[in-house]
Amino acid sequence: MMTYLRNSIIATVVYHDTFNYPLTLLEVFKYLINPGRLMRIADGLGEIKLDEVSEELDRLIKSGILAEKNGFYFLNGRDDLYDLRIERQKIADKKWKKFLKLTKFLALTPFLRGVFASGSMALGNTDKESDFDVLIIAKSGRLYTCRLFLWLISSLLGARRKKHEKVAPDKFCFNHYITDDSLELRHQSLFNAQTYINLKPAMIKPELVNKFFSSNLWLNNYVYNFKIQSNFVMRSVLPPHLFIFLARMEEFTINLLFGNSLERFLMNDQQKRIKKNPITYEPGGRIVSTEKELEFHPRSFEQIVIEKYNRGLKHLGIIPYSWEKDSGLKE
């Protein structure tokens, strides 16, 4: 048991080291990489307790593999990460206020059912140039219509990241959309699992949050202690009733006049654009365009993270029975 836990803790710290992100005890426990990904386990491990993680962390510090400062754990020799995390957390706190203020106006979008903060914002690991990565949930059958209005509203706010912008501080990056009847995320990997367990509900009903995570139980194959929490919603915004009313009126009008025709036109147009764009065919990314999902990650850094993680494990003498892979990026 202790060998499994030891390797799992080291792996968890190594993974977050690729993001220059030290962890607290509770975070090591929460983000704990499933021991079964590192060693073949004949019998189930059962519950891993917080005090067991704490005791193993102490042993890893004594052995010189890990170090600790003011409650934050990191690889030995990476003491600089403590000050970096404190600095980035302060930046993230300021960005959250702006993010929520802007997100409130997205409630005017017809067929929008949920907004999750993702990426560095969700983790609290931002720098001054960080944008606002979001995962969008749209009503089934209206994904592309929802996207159009998100584009319009965020453009009017001056808060939409444009294609040519290499950096776009404090602007929305709409890079992933799914529909409310297709919540399971198909592209599974350690990178995606760690990303999705950190999603922060920004504007979404609690029951849809629970439905989303219940549809993605595969997350526990990668993150051992992840649980759906009844109080999961945090740092969320409650939009004005007027915004909600206007969005519903927009939905009624669109459905009445040209709902299906508009959706088909927008989807076909987007798919044609994707096929014509040379970036679609470049290696190291993924672009998806279906009735149920839109994903724009043409140059994902997932592969870089996974490669650094695997090298980090090897450097520390941990050789898993199978090295982690990306989620099926284009080769």
Note whether 115 and 253 are same-domain residues.
yes
Q: What is the DSSP string of 53-95?
A: HHHHHHHHHHTTSEEEETTEEEETT-THHHHHHHHHHHHHHHH
Residues 34 and 125 in one domain: no
Residues 109 and 247 in one domain: yes
Are both 212 and 115 inside the same structural domain?
yes
Task: Specify if 86 maps to a domain.
Answer: no
Residue-by-residue pLDDT tens, the chain, 331 positions: 578 999 999 999 999 999 999 999 999 999 999 999 998 876 678 899 999 999 999 999 999 999 999 999 999 999 999 999 999 999 999 999 999 999 999 999 999 999 999 999 999 999 999 999 999 999 999 999 999 999 999 999 999 988 777 888 999 999 999 999 999 999 999 999 999 999 999 999 989 999 999 999 999 999 999 987 655 545 688 899 999 999 999 999 999 999 999 999 999 999 999 999 998 888 999 999 999 999 999 889 999 999 999 999 999 999 888 899 999 988 7
Please provide residue 189's backbone torsions phi and psi, each rounded to the nearest 5 degrees.
Answer: -170, 165
Is 87 among the domain residues?
no
Domain presence at residue 282: yes
Taking CA atoms, 217 is separated from 31, 44, 136, 158, 227, in Å, by 15, 17, 19, 37, 9
Answer yes or no: is 66 within a domain: yes
Range of the domain at 51: 2-78+303-315
- Residue 33 per-residue DSSP state: B
Do 116 and 220 lie in a common domain? yes
In a domain, 158, yes or no: yes
How far apart CA 84 and CA 106 sit, in angstroms, is 32
> Does 125 share its domain with 32?
no
Domain of 65: which CATH number?
1.10.10.10
Judge if 219 and 204 occupy the same domain. yes
Report the candidate in 198, 56, 42 with the shortest Cα–Cα distance to residue 120. 198
- Do 71 and 106 sit in the same domain of this protein? no
- Residue 259 maps to a domain: yes
pTM: 0.94
User: Tokens 């799992």 identify what position?
Assistant: 8
Is 47 in the same domain as 161?
A: no
CA distances from 305 to 169, 288, 299, 330 (A): 22, 21, 13, 16
Are residue 149 and residue 284 in the same domain, yes or no? yes
Indicate whether 327 belongs to any domain: no
The reply to whether 308 and 276 lie within a common domain is no
Report d(CA 184, CA 6) in Å as an integer: 31
Query: How many distinct structural domains can be found in the chain?
Result: 2
Q: Are residues 147 and 267 in the same domain?
A: yes
